[in-house]
Amino acid sequence: MTSSRAIIIMTRYPDPGRVKTRLIPALDADEAARLHRQMVEYAMSTVRGFTSASPAGIFVFFNGGSKELMASWLGDEAEYLPQADGNLGDKMRAAFHAVFNREFKTVTMIGSDCPTIDRHILRQAFSSLAQADMVVGPALDGGYYLLGLKQVYDQLFEGIDWGGSKVLTQTLSAARNQRITVSCLPELSDIDRPEDLVNLKGIAAFSSLAQADMV
């Protein structure tokens, strides 16, 4: 690898009924899968745009589907790896370990739930890691949309109520307990619940969804 930086995308293959299930029945299973597909494609497009100017390895850790299906869908710029077993923290920790074992020095992880992550946010994340041990992007629902590290701290993924409103608070508390220095990015919104769907209306990349009266 020519770059010391890497970006991880954590996601799922867009099988109807297995993605964005918390949006059902506000959306039906096919609509939820279509939204998930578009959000993942947007995340990948953002990462591609960033790496075209600032080289970084791209790793997609997926659930469902296969490496072949993921590559056929999202292209061959990334390396596709199945997510580990366990809860979300187990999956995230394993993904960070796998990428740091490739000798990358700074690694940033995102999901596909935040439709307003852009190249500026990614640049800011990597720049923050020049001074801090960890960078986090707070989400309005109490979680986070981005986590960047210079090494893996297992404690960040232990004792967290994943999917709840205290994920960020608990993660920052774990960081303080380990004396991990933290930089925070701007707070952004995730699309996880039916009430979040209205936030798509002002985003050009998802205007077709709004026009289709899905939100």
- pLDDT, residue 151, reads 98
Q: Which domains does the chain have, with CATH numbers?
A: 5-210 (3.90.550.10)
- What is the three-class DSSP state of 106? strand
206 pLDDT band, cuts 50/70/90, is: low
Neighbours of 29 (CB within 10 A): 17
For residue 214, what are the contacts with CB-CB under 8 A and spacing of at least 6? Answer: 27, 31, 35, 197
Per-residue pLDDT tens digits for 124-170: 999 999 999 999 999 999 999 999 999 999 999 999 999 999 999 99
DSSP structure class, residue 75: -
Per-residue pLDDT tens digits for 1-54: 468 999 999 999 999 999 999 999 899 999 999 999 999 999 999 999 999 999
